[in-house]
Amino acid sequence: MRNLEMEAAKRLLLLLFLVSLLSISTATTTRKFRARKPCKRMVFYFHDIIYNGKNAKNATAAIVGAPAWGNRTILSGQNHFGDLVVFDDPITLDNNLHSTPVGRAQGFYIYDKKGIFTAWLGFSFVFNSTEHKGSINFAGADPLMNKTRDISVIGGTGDFFMARGVATLMTDAFEGEVYFRLRTDIKLYECW
């Protein structure tokens, strides 16, 4: 009887040791196993109306920097290379500019290529409703001519505390060089 108990105790100790090894190695390699499945997913639209000298009332964006050969009322040639645009755009749940906004998209984009339309974006989605409170911060390259483009969710506050992820942009509609609408499919992979 005593022997058997001793034997069992030894096994338990060995097991304890093995399991502790196992749980340590599991924890340190967590990321490699983590599925690319969003912990939160949301789709929004935002609407950008660039000031063109005539639409001061409706405009939600304005050119504030331009190259030496450009100006701040009309987007410059060479695919707007060098134009810096600041925006405060309404965010809607559907693709209708006149739907009740659920937040504001605020920040800037810079057209950064002579050959084709491409921009670099730095902006936030700012929410202050019963549905969402807080902000989601974005940064990344936006090669506008691709049907969909991925940028990074680099952080968040409030309801989106410490968020990280990827947002897929799609130009949903545009009218000349004054209006465009971006569908934004936000996939968060780090939620706290």
Q: Is 38 among the residues that bind its own copies (CB under 8 A)?
A: no
Q: Which stretch binds its own copies (CB under 8 A): 42-50, 90-98, 134-142, 178-186?
A: 134-142
Q: How many residues bind its own copies (CB under 8 A)?
A: 84
Q: With the C-alpha atoms ordered 97, 46, 160, 187, is the resulting torsion angle positive or negative?
A: positive
**What residues from 42 to 81 belong to the interface with its own copies (CB under 8 A)?**
51, 53, 62-68, 70-73, 81
Please state, in angstroms and rounded to a whole number, the distance separating the CA atoms of residues 121 and 21.
45
In the region spanning residues 87 to 106, those forming contacts with its own copies, defined by CB under 8 A, are 87-88, 104, 106
**Candidates 42-50, 92-100, 133-141, 171-179; binding stretch for its own copies (CB under 8 A):** 133-141
CB closer to its own copies, 22 vs 43 = 22
Tell me the C-alpha to C-alpha distance, in Å, between residue 156 and each of 60, 104, 122. Answer: 23, 15, 13
Q: Which is nearer to its own copies, 20 or 95 (CB)?
A: 20
Please report, as residue ranges, which positions from 156 to 185 form the binding site for its own copies (by CB under 8 A).
156-158, 161-162, 164-166
> SS3 for 46?
strand
Which residue has tokens 């700012």? 126
Burial (Cβ within 10 Å: 0-12, 13-18, ≥19) of residue 125: buried
Output the CA–CA distances (angstroms, integers) from residue 12 to 7, 8, 131, 182, in the order listed. 9, 6, 51, 60
By CB under 8 A, name the one of 6, 10, 19, 41 that touches its own copies: 19
Q: Show the site string, 138-157: x = touches its own copies by CB under 8 A, - = not.
A: -xxx-x------xxxxxxxx
